A and B are shown apart, each in its own frame.
Chain A
Amino acid sequence: MKWKTKDADVFLKSGEYVDSILIPLTPVSFSHDFKSSVTMSEYTELLTSEIERQLHGRLFLSPNFTYVKDDQALERLTSFLEHVKNSGHFNHIFLMTSDVYWKEFEQQLSGQLFWVPALPLETMDEKYKLEVIKEQVKPLFQLIFNDWQRSINS
């Protein structure tokens, strides 16, 4: 499900089936790492939208969490995650980023962090691009399914 009114209506009606949220973490910068920020954001969006497409009925794709890499980024994300958790809707919180910045905070985040380094897709042709994305998300599905499986067993 996406951050769209159409999906929001379904969510209001069948919210109990939607117990997972996927939050893309995308950096914003207009200084020296401008281009790499764009590349990372774009790549993260491609992956998350493919995951959303396949798990539409159980996974909510949150709007991008955008951040400037400064002292407050972690604090802001933590409080956002707190809000998501306290909403009571989501038992499974997944975070997706191409930015290695978050890797060191992985333990402090209340959610499973998927860190996938960005590939330079801009020069690839469409068909090949699709294949790459498909291959890249495959293991992520496994991680999500495992997480779902754990909650059944526990």
Chain B
Amino acid sequence: MSKEDISRRQFLNYTLTGVGGFMAAGMLMPMVRFALDPILKEGTDQELVAVTSVEEIANEPKRFDFKIKQKDGWYESDVTQSAWVYKAKNGDFIALSPICKHLGCTVDWNTDPSHPNQFFCPCHLGRYTKDGTNVKGTAPLAPLDVYDSQVKDGKLYLGKAKPRKGA
């Protein structure tokens, strides 16, 4: 018997297993990929948006408006968002979300004459200190959200507003 001798049965076995294996793999691969997809997906963190150049940020909170894309079903729209941005004593930039944690009004800086240097919500008289901590005894029960922020090429980029623990 020469070495390349191979029985008809063996030959068929090999080819069928080979081809069958390919087909099975072809079918299974997408399924596995689909099953794993949610895990492999990168964090749904919203992209960072350039909001302002750093020179414009002062120690006093200043309001900056910027636009993000929001998807609602098929409908994509530009939504205006605002941030209160200031420079902390240690030189960090702090960007607070202006959305009141009570029912979602927009808070303003230093507009309540009887409580200067605080964030003030005109709707239900909620107040927050400069670092966004809610003042006890007023309507809101949690501090203002903080934006993910990053400084690149002299510009401040903001991402998603993240909630913090209550005071």
Contacts and interface: CB of A to CB of B under 8 A. Distances in A.
Nearest to A55: B105
Contacts, number: 42
B121 to A, nearest CB: 8
B103 interface: yes
Interface string B34-70: 0000000000000000000000000000000101000
Contact of B105 (A10, A50, A56, A130): A56
Contact of B80 (A57, A58, A130, A148): A130
Contacts of A10: 103
B103 A57 contact: yes
Contacts of A54: 105-106
Given A10-B103, A14-B103, A130-B80, A57 B65 contact: no
Among all A-B residue pairs, the 6 with the closest Cβ atoms = A57-B103, A58-B123, A56-B104, A54-B106, A57-B105, A57-B123
A153 B67 CA distance: 38
A54 B121 CA distance: 10
B160 interface: no
Given A17-B103, A130-B65, A55 B123 contact: yes
B122 interface: yes
A53 interface: yes
Interface residues of A, number: 18
Nearest to B65: A130
Contacts of A14: 103
Interface string A8-28: 001000100110000000000
B124 interface: yes
Interface string B70-81: 000000000010
A145 interface: yes
Contacts of B83: none
B156 interface: no
Contacts of B65: 130, 134
Contacts of A18: 103
B100 interface: yes
Interface in B71-115: 80, 99-100, 102-106
Interface string B107-137: 0000000000000011110000000000000
B116 to A, nearest CB: 18
Select the residue from B67, B103, B121 with max chain A CB neighbours within 10 A.
B103
